[in-house]
């Protein structure tokens, strides 16, 4: 079993100060997986999704976001499919070309759509976050996690109430297993 990226909530908050605001109140000395499991078990979806997005390494977080979004919804329009596909391509091939393509698609798509934020998460995973014709502006360390968080919270708000708990429980169980280093097969 792999070691969890941040042993405690405080470790994560020290690495990503904005996470404190996104996650909300949490016992600083609580082990990360304990916090995540308790939040998921209590159906505190916002803190659980936020914490998981930060807890996972960028590439794994984007992969988890894509898997979760596919679990949430069966159908996507052409723009959303493209955004999701470029994010998943970057997960499989995390090179500059696929990152820049994800960034371009994310910037061109509707910011109210969750798949747009997953493309942006891939695009904001490192390197410059502006088009090549401009002076480089480096991605902030928390930018990808915040975009994954945005994608999943937008999706969460659109889930039917009767399936919300079932879907979100499955998404968070997947995230917990990924955090433990125990990848699960997709859906």
> What are the boundaries of each domain within the chain?
9-180
Give Rg (Cα) of the chain: 16
Q: Is the pLDDT reported for residue 182 higher than 80?
A: no
In the structure, what pLDDT confidence band is assigned to residue 132 with cuts at 50, 70 and 90?
A: confident
CA distance 99 to 128: 10
For the entire predicted model, the pTM comes to 0.94
Cβ neighbors of 2 (< 8 A, separation 6 or more) are 180, 181
Here the tokens at position 43 are 């159906």
Q: Is the pLDDT of residue 184 over 70?
A: no
% of the chain exceeding 70 in pLDDT? 96
């Amino acid at each position: 079993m792999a070691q969890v990226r941040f042993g405690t909530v405080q470790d994560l908050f020290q690495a990503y100060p904005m996470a404190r605001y996104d996650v909300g109140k949490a016992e600083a000395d609580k082990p990360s997986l304990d916090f995540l499991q308790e939040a998921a078990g209590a159906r505190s979806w916002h803190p659980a999704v936020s914490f998981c997005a930060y807890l996972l390494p960028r590439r794994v977080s984007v992969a988890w976001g894509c898997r979760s979004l596919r679990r949430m919804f069966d159908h996507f329009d052409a723009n959303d499919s493209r955004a999701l596909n470029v994010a998943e391509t970057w997960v499989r091939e995390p090179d500059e070309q696929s990152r820049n393509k994800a960034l371009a698609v994310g910037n061109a798509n509707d910011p109210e759509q969750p798949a747009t934020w997953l493309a942006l998460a891939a695009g904001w995973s490192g390197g410059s976050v502006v088009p090549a014709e401009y002076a480089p502006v480096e991605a902030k360390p928390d930018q990808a996690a915040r975009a994954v968080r945005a994608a999943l919270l937008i999706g969460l708000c659109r889930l039917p109430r009767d399936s919300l708990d079932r879907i979100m429980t499955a998404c968070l169980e997947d995230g917990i297993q990924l955090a433990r280093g125990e990848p699960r097969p997709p859906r």
